[in-house]
Amino acid sequence: MEEKELITSENMHAWDGRILVTGATGFLGSRIVRAYEKSCRVFAPNHQEMDICHMDSVRAYIEKVRPQIAVHCAAASDTLWCQEHPEASFRINVEGAEHMARVCGDLGTKLIFCSSDQIYFGSGGMEPHKENEEVSPAGEYGRQKLEAEKRCARFCSDSVSLRLCWMYDSERLLEKEHGNFLTAFLQAVAEEREMVYPIYDYRGITDVRLVVENLEKVFKLPGGVYNFGSENDYNIYETVHRLLKKLGYSTERLKKNETAFAGNPRNIRVHMGKAETFGIEFPKTLERLVECVNSI
Ligand SMILES: NC(=O)c1ccc[n+]([C@@H]2O[C@H](COP(=O)([O-])OP(=O)(O)OC[C@H]3O[C@@H](n4cnc5c(N)ncnc54)[C@H](OP(=O)(O)O)[C@@H]3O)[C@@H](O)[C@H]2O)c1
């Protein structure tokens, strides 16, 4: 990466190549580290080196390494666990983000906060969601991400919150990595297993590699909230049905889950217009899935 590529935002002083990535042992953080470690000075503290739940730990680490950019991936990302452990997950997802925002705000570090499309779970309507909508998340995790976004904006006004969609990769990078849509799909196809996907669930599914590739453009974004992932024209069952057909596979073993979100469809699809005005683009969910499988 060349220096001049990153220096355009008026509020950023000369790019010094120092990036902090929290949650670097996780699905997204590990891929960001891999992408930047050759061209930048990447700081990737593990849980023990910097515990986001403790303000002193966050301040001491960030004051020591003085990054220009901090990508805050660390979180309790399992929505079910958050639902069952509201207090413990609040400390990680909300207070952890606030600690990052306070320190980054004080030191002039550009903070990129990983938020989620789950913020839209509970919103009415079947259209893709825009960032300026009134939202009232139905789940604990979505409520925590929304509160964290607000605290990031309050304590670090130049911070950028990315509402990420469900991410996948065709390869496993780490031993303990959580499963993802594409690897689960490919495994079911390879083992000729029955697949069951919901018909009342509408959401974008995003290639994590594109999230990482588009990150450099995020460094230059003005503070605010941005949807950040692939749009999707279909529900999850339809997405898989079309994917199988486009790949030339039989749809015989594909079954509908008609109970999940029945009577109250979940629509957390994102509208990407705002990010697109800054040159950030993601192909649609189905298009990218086909490309990905064909490139394996
Ligand atoms: N994956 C998705 O599809 C998706 C979709 C939308 C939004 N997001 C958001 O994107 C971000 C990255 O997701 P991910 O899938 O990469 O998450 P992940 O794989 O679950 O990784 C979470 C990371 O957070 C670290 N962590 C947890 N508690 C910590 C603490 N108290 N102090 C320091 N580190 C801590 C974990 O370290 P240990 O393993 O050592 O605990 C791990 O490295 C998260 O904010 C997530 O909510 C993810």
Q: Whose CA is nearest to atom 35 of ligand 1?
A: 74
Query: For position 13, what pLDDT does the model report?
Result: 54
Query: Global pTM?
Result: 0.95
Ligand 1 atom with minimal separation from the 72 CA: 45
Ligand 1 is surrounded, with C-beta below 6 A, by 22-23, 25-29, 46-47, 51-53, 73-75, 77, 92, 96, 114, 116, 164, 166-167, 178
Q: How many CB atoms lie within 10 A of CB 217?
A: 16
Domain boundaries defined on the chain: 3-168+205-230+271-282
Ligand 1 center–CA 75 separation, angstroms:
4
Question: Is 3-168+205-230+271-282 CATH 3.40.50.720?
Answer: yes
Q: Which stretch of DSSP H or E encloses residue 96?
A: helix 96-107
Task: Report the C-alpha gap between 282 and 261 in whole angstroms.
Answer: 27
Helix 236-247 vs helix 285-294: crossing angle, to nearest 10: 40
**Tokens encoding 146:** 């929304």
| Alpha-carbon distances of 151 from 5, 61, 92, 261, rounded to whole Å | 30, 20, 13, 31
**Tokens encoding 116:** 């989620």
Ligand 1 center–CA 232 separation, angstroms:
24
Is residue 59 a contact partner of residue 103, using CB atoms and an 8 Å limit? yes
Ligand 1 atom with minimal separation from the 166 CA: 3
Spell out where 73-146 has E strands.
Answer: 110-116
Q: What is the pLDDT along the chain (296 residues), one digit of tens a residue?
A: 333 344 344 444 567 889 999 999 999 999 999 999 999 999 999 989 999 999 999 999 999 999 999 999 999 999 999 999 999 999 999 999 999 999 999 999 999 999 999 999 999 899 999 999 999 999 999 999 999 999 999 999 999 999 999 999 998 888 888 879 999 999 999 999 999 999 999 999 999 999 999 999 999 999 999 999 999 999 999 999 999 999 999 999 999 999 999 989 999 999 999 999 999 999 999 999 999 999 98
Q: Whose CA is nearest to atom 21 of ligand 1?
A: 26
Query: For position 193, what pLDDT does the model report?
Result: 96
Ligand 1 atom with minimal separation from the 53 CA: 31
| Alpha-carbon distances of 73 from 23, 47, 199, 218, 244, rounded to whole Å | 5, 12, 30, 14, 32
Q: Whose CA is nearest to atom 32 of ligand 1?
A: 51
State CA 103 to chain mean position distance. Answer: 22
Q: Whose CA is nearest to atom 15 of ligand 1?
A: 27
| Total count of residues recorded for the chain | 296
Strand bridging mode 18-22 / 254-257: unpaired
| Alpha-carbon distances of 259 from 96, 116, 118, 201, 274, rounded to whole Å | 36, 24, 20, 10, 34
Query: For position 178, what pLDDT does the model report?
Result: 82
